[in-house]
Structure 1
């Protein structure tokens, strides 16, 4: 597949794909193992897999174990936790948390808004939400 034929991936999409493979595995995997388990229709080079796994390890998302001259990786979190961490980092990157949250909530669909209200209520001990 040429560079022109490949679609551009969204932010965090590669990390999510690799994490899904690791979460579904019954043991820590080498980068080669991870690469083999990725969908064949969207192949990644070995070096890309190594780079993404190394970055995820540096972020504290993965554990890494030495296995001879290679490393094996295992998840320390799951997909939803990774997404929540990303959301938190994005929020922390902007000094105006209130405006960011206001715009985030304004963009929620009715079902997501109801879930968020319920979660906030449960977290705060069933306090009335204004």
Structure 2
């Protein structure tokens, strides 16, 4: 997975590097080191940058790690669907007008997808926050 070339001074979009690191982990045949991830990114990133991103992903529950000698082996915590959900959440987190983004997203769903979403929200609401359901509290 080669890195994306950017001109001088060009910055990544918010969450882009996290998504790239997660995608790289999903391509790994087994748990891998940060050095392995850095090598695959091919983007001249500092090793410490890769470790920082992996540590942030660990704090978010997106990856797991296990001690292996003096380093860690990293694994994605979710499957491809979980990765897609993580990317969707990153997009939403990067927007200042969450209400409008969610409204437009829901209005663009097919009828079947909208029904599925309604059903999932109902189930999550019935579970309650302590069981992983929808919380009443808003940030």
Q: TM-score, normalised by structure 1?
A: 0.69
Give the match for residue 121 of structure 1: 115
The DSSP-based 3-state class of the residue aligned with 1:63 is: strand
Q: TM-score, normalised by structure 2?
A: 0.65
Please, which runs of 5 or more residues in structure 2 have no aligned partner? 1-6, 120-139
Moved over 6 A (4+): none
Q: Please tell me whether Structure 1 or Structure 2 has the larger radius of gyration of its CA atoms.
A: 1
Q: Aligned runs of 1:1-130 on 2, under 5 Å?
A: 5-38=8-41, 40=42, 42-77=43-78, 78=80, 79-87=83-91, 89=93, 98-99=99-100, 101-102=102-103, 104-105=104-105, 113-115=108-110, 117-124=111-118
CA distance in 2, matches of 1:45, 1:33: 13
CA distance in 2, matches of 1:6, 1:23: 29
Displacement of 1:89 after TM fit? Answer: 4.9
Displacement of 1:90 after TM fit? Answer: 6.0
- CA separation of 1:71/1:87 partners in 2, compared to 1, >3 Å: closer, same or farther? same
Two-structure CA RMSD over aligned residues (Å): 2.8
Please, which runs of 5 or more residues in structure 1 have no aligned partner? 126-130
